[in-house]
Amino acid sequence: MDKYTFPCVVTTFSGCGDVVGLKIAHGLVFKFGIDHDLSVGSAAAHGYLKFGLMTDAQRVFDEMSGRDTVLWNTMINGYADIADENRESEILWPIALEQSYTNEDNFKGKCIM
C-alpha cells in the first residue's frame, strides 16, 4: 500500500460500511511509513468521520505535522455532518487566525456561522 492507493482503500471500506477494514488499513499506514502524508491523513480522517468516529478522526488530525486545506475542510465538513457545532467552531477559529487559510476560496465546506 502506498499514499496513492490508501485513499481508494478507505473509500472502499467506508462505502461498504466496514469500520474494521478501515482500522486495519489505517494500521498498515504506520507499517509502510506513510502516516505523515497529508492525503493519507485526510483520507483516514474522512473515513473515521463517515463512521461518526470523531475521536479517531481528531487523533489523526492532531498527529499530522502539517495541515493543508483538504485536511481542514475534511474536519470541518465531518463535524458539520455529525452536527457537532462546538467542535466545528473550535476547528474553524484557528484556521481563521492562520494567514495562509484566510482566503475564502480555501473553504468549500458547509456554512457554519
pLDDT for res 26: 93
Q: Is residue 81 part of a domain?
A: yes
Residues of the chain under the 70 pLDDT cut: 83-113
Number of domains in the chain: 1
Q: How confident is the model at residue 71, as a pLDDT?
A: 87
pLDDT score recorded for residue 93: 62
In a domain, 1, yes or no: no
> What distance in Å separates the CA atoms of residue 38 and residue 40, rounded to the nearest whole number?
5
Query: Is 76 a domain residue?
Result: yes
**Domain range for 50:** 6-106
**Is 43 within a domain?**
yes
The answer as to whether 113 is a domain residue is no
Residue 111 belongs to some domain of the structure: no
